[in-house]
Structure 1
């Protein structure tokens, strides 16, 4: 795996101010992580997710929906590169809004919170080589029939899952069948679509590996890079598709452990540890995760998709009236993906490729490479509308902005449109055998 590159103290101190915006990504999820009340809450004190034993009646048929000729035609574009293209004007708008979804999380509900420049909803991603089909909720549900899809990671995993549930709810209302509200345990939830016996779950695991999050008494995260996080991994034998989304919490001060040794730390003044970079720590964590999935899959054929790192769009200092005021996407020639954003994406792409080459069990693994798509959408964040009616009291110069997460509906819906195309492509693609 190689040794971790050392950062001298001057370099570490010079980049820490740039990383401050990502502290927001660490703090906001704590207040946002409450279950989506699509249905009445069950017992919140169950130690593990329960099995599904719910009946449901609907006019929607789970079996009488063979792929249409249009869908078959779309599948011919399975080899298309969906990740290189541009945002083009589209007057159709999203599949859902702030009233049709059921419940959009408070901090993402930009329309209800008073955002009036709704032009950000009138754009669609157009790959260079093909067309990206509009999301078909029934098709997605048919492809995950009798399966369990698990979103694992940080608040960006939650954001993507929220988007998916909103789009699926336009066809069939998901039933919330599990959550745990003890402390931070409300960051674990499960939804079920009984007609398709399909399950979608959320597992909060911002490092994927075992980690002790920072607290009032300990300002640093502690990461154990050679141990997968059992809070999600213990349920791995129940999962058919795992969608991983992480990286943001690696930018926060941390101490890194491997075995019984401390490898070093990222910005931990006052501790007698070597200052090291977070890039190789992220790489080690992802490699440990892939190895653990392969070792535990036992030939069951778990599929893995890694949603790549998404940049923030703060203009100015995030804690000094920094904002994301743009109302239109960037054009490709306006901005170049570079620096930390490009490096984080590069690591994830490289590790996915490496793991695919080494897989000896039945395993399918791909990167949902949305970094560039996200980079070009500075207009898609909640900004000041993370809070309701942020300017009613005339505090425009002091209101906090969220330029990390994404409005719902918004650009992040595209992530799930591409996710569906990846799943459709896999339908006729054999898994690697032992």
Structure 2
């Protein structure tokens, strides 16, 4: 019995010794090779692809280093997306699993791991958690730590991806905005018709002074005077660095369909009105054109040599062209209406009654004044300067050129105040046309008898109008400056 007892005891001790020895070998082998990770359920195991090196796992290189920035556009170098380099959740290759299950030897397994480039990273990771791995042999701790490591890696990668995506998006957006800004900051050059020169033009004139009798006053028809030179008919204005579209009456009427164009000013405005009527009709008789003066209060009063203006409508396009006489652009009213010889209040700061009453019917307005501002005209017409509704007592304003300046500023400011009320209205102020008399004025022995155009070869390049009063008044307003002063000066 005793021998049997010792025999059983010896067998038991041998079995325990064998178990301990196997356990020791198993633990030692686990430290040397990751083969035992095959014991972890595949659903919870962290799979490291062969393309992830130890440098990435332990010392993650900032992904910005793999971005090549060229000419403001960020691009990835030899990679389509970041996800292709970070396939942490990809399933393991079936051939690699079969190889690992067959190669049980730790040396062979080590070589295989080293071949895959992950031995160093796995060893370092296990050194950091040696105590946990030794205590929890059943793989639970390994499973937990590996899952935590995977989550940390995924979080870091997602954070880096987000930062890179934001950076790239910002770079791309900024680049796109820069390109758009560059494009929008280079608009097509605007033609400045005030700059240019007079050139010889052999094309047929738009109308003849002999033919446009319906619209052109005889005193302004050079063909009907004793003048023998007509070289001026072969000269036209060429703007600098741009082309001016050839005028065609039919195109003009089509553009001005259902619109009204009004010239308000002195005799130069009247000439512009008559010339435009001749250009539209080609100097030919037009019996279809309708006189619509009464619609705008333009009628010839009893005893007047001519009406206070004209208004004509082309029925084919419902286009109205009119002129209203207002030589100073001031509102004029009789001081004593019952007295035929009464003086007239010349309100420097009040627009003409015609504009106040009919501006809502206008689409294009062209204003001008200038040569009627002299003492002779004021005395002959019995005009008395008024300011603020009463006779002017300021001697400084009583000076003719200063009074004119007050009126020019006043009329432009008033029209500018009306523009928001009538969005379809375009307003222009035409600068003064200089006198061309030599040796004196028209009434002091001066002459204007040039027979050859002196403007050929002369070029206007100035950026600022010679009519400084008008330019200063229009600056900063919605009233555009129609600058003809310099080109008119060189026209003779």
> How much does 1:123 deviate?
0.7
Instruction: State the TM-score, normalized to the length of structure 2.
Output: 0.51
- Segments of structure 1 that go 5 or more residues without pairing to the other structure are 1-75, 266-272, 357-364, 379-434
Match of 2:165 in 1: none
Match runs of 1:254-403 below 5 Å: 254=378, 255-264=384-393, 276-297=398-419, 298-317=421-440, 318-331=442-455, 345-356=467-478, 365-378=479-492
> How much does 1:163 deviate?
0.4
Would the alpha carbon gap of residues 264 and 310 (structure 1) be closer, same or farther in structure 2, given more than 3 Å must change? farther
Alpha-carbon distance in 1 for matches of 2:477, 2:402: 16
Alpha-carbon distance in 1 for matches of 2:459, 2:374: 23
SS in 2 for 1:248: coil
Match of 2:254 in 1: 142
> How much does 1:78 deviate?
7.2
**Residue 129 (str. 1) matches residue 235 (str. 2):** no
SS in 2 for 1:190: strand
| Structure number with bigger Rg | 2
Alpha-carbon distance in 1 for matches of 2:399, 2:461: 20
Report the RMSD for the aligned CA atoms in angstroms: 3.4
- From 195, 198, 204, give the equivalent of 1:87: 198
Q: Give CA deviations for 1:63-122 in whole Å, capped at 9, x if unaligned.
A: xxxxxxxxxxxxx98711111111111122411102332432111111122321011111
**Residue 99 (str. 1) matches residue 210 (str. 2):** yes
Q: Which moved more, 1:222-231 or 1:79-88?
A: 222-231
Match of 1:180 in 2: 299
- From 337, 361, 371, give the equivalent of 1:238: 361
Q: Which moved more, 1:176-185 or 1:161-170?
A: 176-185
Match of 1:35 in 2: none
- Segments of structure 2 that go 5 or more residues without pairing to the other structure are 1-186, 379-383
Match of 1:151 in 2: 263
Match of 1:109 in 2: 221
- From 372, 375, 398, give the equivalent of 1:252: 375
Contact 2:455 2:491 in 1 (8 A): no
Q: Give CA deviations for 1:389-426 in whole Å, capped at 9, x if unaligned.
A: xxxxxxxxxxxxxxxxxxxxxxxxxxxxxxxxxxxxxx
Contact 1:192 1:200 in 2 (8 A): yes
SS in 2 for 1:192: strand
Contact 2:360 2:422 in 1 (8 A): no
Alpha-carbon distance in 2 for matches of 1:300, 1:275: 34
Would the alpha carbon gap of residues 80 and 95 (structure 1) be closer, same or farther in structure 2, given more than 3 Å must change? same
SS in 1 for 2:307: helix
Would the alpha carbon gap of residues 77 and 150 (structure 1) be closer, same or farther in structure 2, given more than 3 Å must change? farther
SS in 2 for 1:117: coil
Q: Give CA deviations for 1:209-235 in whole Å, capped at 9, x if unaligned.
A: 2136999968x9752122111033311
Alpha-carbon distance in 2 for matches of 1:143, 1:78: 23
Alpha-carbon distance in 2 for matches of 1:260, 1:117: 51
> How much does 1:164 deviate?
0.2
Match of 2:153 in 1: none
- From 311, 320, 330, give the equivalent of 1:190: 311
Q: Give CA deviations for 1:1-31 in whole Å, capped at 9, x if unaligned.
A: xxxxxxxxxxxxxxxxxxxxxxxxxxxxxxx
> How much does 1:333 deviate?
8.4
> How much does 1:336 deviate?
9.7
Match of 2:279 in 1: 167
Alpha-carbon distance in 1 for matches of 2:372, 2:344: 9
Structure scoring higher RCO (CA < 8 A, sep ≥ 6) equals 1
Alpha-carbon distance in 1 for matches of 2:487, 2:188: 19
Alpha-carbon distance in 2 for matches of 1:123, 1:77: 28
Contact 2:212 2:285 in 1 (8 A): no
Contact 1:337 1:375 in 2 (8 A): no
Contact 2:210 2:223 in 1 (8 A): no
